[in-house]
Amino acid sequence: MTSHWRLPRLSWRFIPVWQRNYLVWKKLAIPSILGNLADPMLYMLGLGYGLGSLMPDVAGMPYITFLAAGTVAYSTMNAATFEVLYSSFSRMHVQRTWDAILNTPMTLDDVMLGELTWAVAKSLLSGLAILAVIWGLGLYGHFWMTLWIIPVVALVGFCFGGMGLVMNAVSPSYDFFLYYFTLAITPMVLLCGVFFPVSQLPPLLQDVSAWLPLTHAVDLARPLVVGTVPENIPLHVAALVVYGSIGYVVALALTRRRLLK
């Protein structure tokens, strides 16, 4: 069916879908925020100070600063990924909320754009919380420079939201998502300079790393924390946009095949 592969038609009609997710989230906002944020923060503070006190500077900065910058990218990735995997899957497959919406003038293009933008919102929340800790602990170089982290975080959310929606489209059950975490997300965390510099990797893995979206996220976020202008900004931005967009387009086609048959 070639018609499933036609390009998305984007429109502002996605807003009620975004709003639906927001209203549900608002009911459980406090536990949801705690649940989303406690984990990365504990890792960051525990490893940053605990392990960091044993180490010399890493890449010219204290380890806690190095790790905080990595955590911004990493926790944003996780927030977007969890949202479009587990939460979107519940709405699509378990609760059949998407089916109900598709009987209205909404199209699947609208529904999935609503899900993607909602994942961006969740990422922003997650990234902002880490940023707040960075501000609170004074781990930054220039305050004004750190504000650029906000659009970076949104972009990272878009990138991993789009990619995750592909997994959502092809998954038969929740268990399937474990493959994505084990085979994609976890290796990426280790290969993309979150916990240690990419330069520590063997040359071959460094080459692989250069192609991974999380590397581009980290390469944007870390200089902004330290207070320098990132190098190759257009490349990193383009990489994140391309990964996210291709993800959304492919996910839409696969979900059309799944639901509209």
Partner 1 sequence: MLSVRGLTKKYGDTEVVRGVDLQVNRGECFGLLGPNGAGKTTTLRLLLGLIEPDAGSIDLAGLPVPQQAREARMKIGVVPQMDNLDPDFTVRENLIAYGRYFGLDRAAITARVPELLEFAGLAHKADAQIAQLSGGMKRRLTLARALVHDPDILFLDEPTTGLDPQARHLIWQGLRRLIAAGKTIVLTTHFMDEAERLADRLAILDHGRIITEGAPRALIETHIEPAVVEVYGEGLEAWTRDHAGNVCTRSETVGETLFCYTEDADRVIDALKDASGLRYIHRPSNLEDVFLKLTGRDLRD
Residue among 24 and 242 whose Cβ is closer to partner 1? 24
Distance of alpha carbon 151 from alpha carbon 115, whole angstroms: 19
Site for partner 1 contains 10 (CB under 8 A):
no
Write down the least CB distance from residue 105 to partner 1, Å.
5
# chain residues binding partner 1, by CB under 8 A: 23
Write down the least CB distance from residue 97 to partner 1, Å.
6
Residue among 17 and 85 whose Cβ is closer to partner 1? 17
Residue among 101 and 116 whose Cβ is closer to partner 1? 101
Closest CA to 222 of 64, 32, 25, 12: 64
* Residues in region 81-100 near partner 1 by CB under 8 A: 95-97, 99-100
Site for partner 1 contains 8 (CB under 8 A):
no
Write down the least CB distance from residue 37 to partner 1, Å.
21
Write down the least CB distance from residue 109 to partner 1, Å.
11
Residue among 115 and 219 whose Cβ is closer to partner 1? 115
Judged by CB under 8 A, the stretch of 41-49, 101-109, 200-208, 246-254 that binds partner 1 is 101-109
Site for partner 1 contains 102 (CB under 8 A):
yes
Token look-up 């996780």 returns: 78
Please identify which residue in 3, 138, 202, 204 interacts with partner 1, judged by CB under 8 A: 3
Query: Which residue type occupies 171?
Result: S
Site for partner 1 contains 174 (CB under 8 A):
no
Site for partner 1 contains 24 (CB under 8 A):
yes
Closest CA to 70 of 138, 130, 158, 157: 130
- Cα torsion 104, 87, 124, 195: sign: negative
Residue among 17 and 221 whose Cβ is closer to partner 1? 17
Binding mask 193-212 for partner 1 (x = CB under 8 A): --------------------
- Cα torsion 47, 50, 54, 58: sign: positive
Write down the least CB distance from residue 33 to partner 1, Å.
17
Please identify which residue in 16, 62, 141, 187 interacts with partner 1, judged by CB under 8 A: 16
Closest CA to 36 of 160, 110, 122, 161: 122
- The contact set with partner 1 (CB under 8 A) reads 3, 13, 16-17, 19-20, 23-24, 27, 95-97, 99-107, 260-261
